[in-house]
Structure 1
Amino acid sequence: MESVLEIRYALDTFYFLVSGMLVMWMAAGFSMLEAGMVRSMNTVEILTKNIALYSIACIMYMLIGYNIMYGDGGSVLPGLGFLVQGDNSVQSVLAGGEQAPYYSSMADFFFQVVFVATAMSVVSGAVAERMKLWAFLLFSVVMTGVLYPVHGYWTWGGGFLDQLGFSDYAGSGIVHMAGAAAALAGVLILGPRRGKYGPGGKISPIPGSNLPLSALGTFILWMGWFGFNGGSELKVSDVESANAVAMVFANTNMAAASGMIVALTVSQLSFGKADLTMGLNGALAGLVAITAEPSAPSMILASGIGAVGGIIVVLSIVALDKMGIDDPVGAISVHGVCGVWGLLAVLFSSPEASLAGQVVGIAVIFAWMFGTSLALWLGLKAVIGIRISEEVEYSGMDSSECGMEAYPEFMGAKGGE
């Protein structure tokens, strides 16, 4: 019996760690996707933000975030702990028998922290090309250390939303919609990029500099999502869990594929062109939508959920643009609007989920993240300012914020002509 428990413990811990590693790789996907969607003069700043926000998320979640999210507390107010603590010894598992934890607590921390970074990455793309680097990083400190863990406690931590029956398997709302709500608050305060909107509602497209890079980023995110959703099964050492993981992988893949094809088709019908950026966002929309419940639907239903996400994301991107909400990478539509759709789609395959529970969860998470983020953005604006100057916006953030160019050979010869 002891040897069986040891093997299961080792296998589930290893699976958890590999899944977390795949989710960590999504940070590279976001970096490449966003770098390709912005102009070349802002590429270094985007890359700096992405690797810095990941590092900040790791540190803040270790210091306070994890113990807020999974500590002791009431149904609404979480407890407050400092530094991650946990017993990783196999002996403690054996002492608890079948009821003991089936993976290392440090594996759990690692898997959870990469989710925090994912939520923060959503904000990065939406505020691109006009937000000060250090204002963004200061926001990252608070969001990853406090804001995200609080609503994480209400849901995955056993708080009141969990008790109401709110269901979100891997984070369509807890991770993706939450990041989009924070992003929306920032975008509304920042305003659009200069030159994006003209008189009479005229919309001037601002093309990205490197679509091959964006396509690569999308493939990396697609791959990482297998860890994001598959790892959320939490274990793989018994037949039931192994079968569930296989279903999660298949459904995740089918939702992404359907979302991509449908979004590309909608763009062809709407604009007369097969818009690659819409196709890429369609794949991500399908992934976000299926994340709320990838283990229960059939592959046909999962494909349908992803397909609806592909339709919604195109319509949402166009609608937000018409409203003057400038989102360079479509993050608010992909992660926010399609996150809401995913949470509602849970009702099609999970009889235990209720419409009331899902709607209350959506409303609470959005209100919390949008409201607190709005207050934080306004505070940063008042204290240090959050928007770069007009001169810097026209010349590019790379040289002013980071002191280097991503593609110096394309910027003209310097001084020795």
Structure 2
Amino acid sequence: MLKKFLLSLGITSMLVPASFAFAADDATPAQLQGAIDAVWVMLAAILVIFMQAGFALLEAGSTRMKNAGHVAGKTVLTFGLCAIAFWAIGFGLAFGDDGGNGFLGTTGFFVDGSEEQAKAAFGALSGSDVPISIKFLFQLAFAGVSLAIAWGGFAERGKLPVYFIFGILFTVLIYPIVAHWVWGGGWLAKLGMQDFAGSTVVHLQGATAALVATLLLKPRIGKFNKDKTPNLIPGHNQVYSVLGVIILWIGWFGFNPGSTLSAMGDGFFGYIALTTNLAAAAGAVAAMIVSWMYFGKADIPSMLNGVLAALVAITAACAFVTPRDAVIIGAISGIITFFTAQWFEKAGLDDPVYAFSVHGIAGIWGTLSTGIFATPELAAKVGVGGAGLLYGGGLGQLGVQALGVFGAFIFVLVLSYIILAIIKATMGLRVTEEEEIVGLDLSEHGTYGYPEQMKKAAQSAAQTV
């Protein structure tokens, strides 16, 4: 029996490559290129979607044990909400044809995956022959990342129902509008704004929403003393945080190189992977060194934030800058993120996972950096904008980048504030003081993420009373 199975397996293994070879012989070069590009973008979409696992580990590890299950579990919930809302409305608003209004798309709602709909509704995506179903999944992954960033501002005190309401509204009213401005043929695209993979479109948007949530929710219980000095509230599992950052780092190879939407030609996606990796490495080293100098100890969370900040910054610039400049951009990101995180905390802002410092400040810097470091050759290769300040472009491209950052920040700030202020005035944003003390695992879900450990802690506390 075993011999028959092995024999059949061997025959199959010989026939499968032959069938592929036969298919390849019949295919035209254009068909082969389309198939390879489709597989590449699908792989990139999977990598970016897998970044949700990185966010779950990073945020759960960076918060307290009593909230770990909630923080990780809501990642699945909110990505599900985002997928449905983006399919129904968000993708059309972001990439549908706008009839010349330059503000939002008006076609392509309820994506059906057909090439007929793609040709009729998504002119902004016509530069690639990748099937519209795969393009949708790839762009959905980006929207999901932006929403995941926004949740950092809600950590350890936001009500679960708020995730439903704000998650849907962010996906259909906020994220796709700015995405259309830059990537969907909108007014910033016409000006030549350079944001290759989303330092502004993805990261600054999510971070700005997180900032508004942080301000409206107020600090966690026990974060600040009466004299306004901050107390350290350490995360419960630094190993989870490290693993989360490693997963995000790997996922970024789908995020940035995948935005080429092609694996053919001269392998430009490999160049983008190179600049992305160099920036991340520089951010890690720079943040670790500066934290060592500041605290007298090498701070691991600061190093992790340095990695993420560098990745955020290079997301806009990865296709426009040299490897040397990518190192500079990444190192500066790690440094400015460290100091802005310290400053925000001293100013009374309780941002549990440093969402605005890592994704907002670094997103701003990364977007502006293309206006400084973009080379004329790479700008021409990508076909967006022009050279940066240091490469003979003057202030023109830098001005466009600054305008894009300002416009996106104000739009998201105002709309997020209106939505969250209405929610706060009606159903409330924050759990009760008792629920916050008990932990969101128990108060929102009825069980702890670490039931045995929390039971022991409760017993120990009872014995000391």
TM-score interval, normalised by the smaller of the two chains:
over 0.9
Identify which of 281, 290, 295 aligns with 1:271.
295
Give a deviation string over 1:286-336, Cα, whole Å, max 9, x none.
100100021232222111110000101100100110111111111110000
1:248 matches 2:272: yes
Other structure's SS at 2:28 match: helix
Partners of 1:220 and 1:126 lie apart in 2 by 21
Give the corresponding residue for 1:408.
451
Q: Which AA in structure 2 matches 1:202?
A: T
1:316-395 correspondence to structure 2 within 5 Å: 316-347=340-371, 348-351=373-376, 352=386, 354-395=397-438
Q: Separation in 2 of the partners of 1:130 and 1:64?
A: 29
Paired residues in the alignment total 405
Q: Assess, with a 3 A threshold, how the Cα gap between structure 1 residues 340 and 280 changes in structure 2: closer, same or farther.
A: same
Aligned CA distance change for structure 1 residues 201 and 231 (closer, same or farther; 3 Å): same
Q: 2:127, 2:295 → 1: CA distance?
A: 57
Structure 2 unaligned blocks of 5 or more: 1-25, 120-125, 377-385, 388-396
Corresponding residue of 1:171 = 198
Q: Counterpart in 2 of 1:311? A: 335
Secondary structure of 1:79's aligned partner: coil
Measured in 2, the distance between the counterparts of 1:183 and 1:55 equals: 19
State the one-letter code of the partner of 1:196: K
Provide the C-alpha distance between the structure 2 equivalents of 1:311 and 1:101, rounded to a whole number of angstroms. 38
Q: Aligned partners of 1:213 and 1:219: how far apart in 2?
A: 10
Contact 1:49/1:137, CA 8 A, preserved across alignment: no
- 1:4-403 equivalences under 5 Å are 4-73=29-98, 74-79=101-106, 81-88=108-115, 101-239=128-266, 242=267, 244-347=268-371, 348-351=373-376, 352=386, 354-403=397-446
SS at match of 1:153: helix
Q: Could you tell me which residue of structure 2 aligns to residue 96 of structure 1? A: none
SS at match of 1:169: coil
What secondary structure does 1:292 align onto?
A: helix
- Is residue 94–residue 179 contact of structure 2 (8 Å, CA) maintained in 1? yes
Which string of whole-angstrom CA distances, capped at 9 and with x for unpartnered residues, describes residues 222-267 of structure 1? 000000001011111222xx1x111111111111111011101100
Gaps of 5+ in 1: 93-98
State, as a whole percentage, how many aligned pairs show the same letter.
38
User: SS in structure 2 opposite 1:412?
Assistant: helix
Contact 2:322-2:375 within 8 A present in 1 as well:
no
Q: Say if 1:64 and 1:146, in contact at 8 Å, map to a contact too.
A: no
Counterpart in 2 of 1:95? none
Whether the aligned pair in 2 keeps the contact of 1:49 and 1:124 (CA below 8 Å) is no
2:256 partner SS: helix
Equivalent residue for 2:392? none
Query: By how many angstroms is 1:144 displaced?
Result: 1.1
Q: Are the aligned partners of 1:267 and 1:275 in contact in 2 as well (CA < 8 Å)?
A: yes
Secondary structure at the aligned position of 1:411 is classed as: helix
The alpha carbon displacement at 1:392 in A equals 0.9
Secondary structure at 1:68's aligned position in 2? Answer: helix
Q: TM-score, structure 2 length as denominator?
A: 0.84
Report SS of the residue matched to 2:272.
helix
Equivalent in the alignment of 2:15: none
Structure 1 residue 44: Cα displacement: 1.1
Distance of 1:378 and 1:48 partners within structure 2: 25
Structure 1, 203-212 or 341-350: larger mean CA deviation: 341-350
> C-alpha offsets along residues 100-150 of structure 1, whole Å, 9 cap, x if unaligned?
742111110000000000000111222200110111221001101221111
Give the 3 Å change call, closer, same or farther, for CA 121–359 of structure 1 in structure 2.
same
How has the CA–CA distance of structure 1 residues 77 and 286 changed in structure 2, closer, same or farther, with 3 Å as cutoff? closer
Could you say what secondary structure the match of 1:51 adopts? helix
Q: Displacement of 1:35 after TM fit?
A: 0.3
The AA in structure 2 aligned to 1:187 is T
For the aligned residue pairs, the C-alpha RMSD in angstroms reads 1.8
Give the secondary-structure state (helix, strand or coil) at the position aligned to 2:455: coil
Show CA shifts across 1:372-397 (max 9, x none).
00000011111211101111111111
- Matched AA of 2:313: A
- TM-score normalised to structure 1 length: 0.94
Letter in 1 for 2:51: M
Structure number with bigger Rg: 2
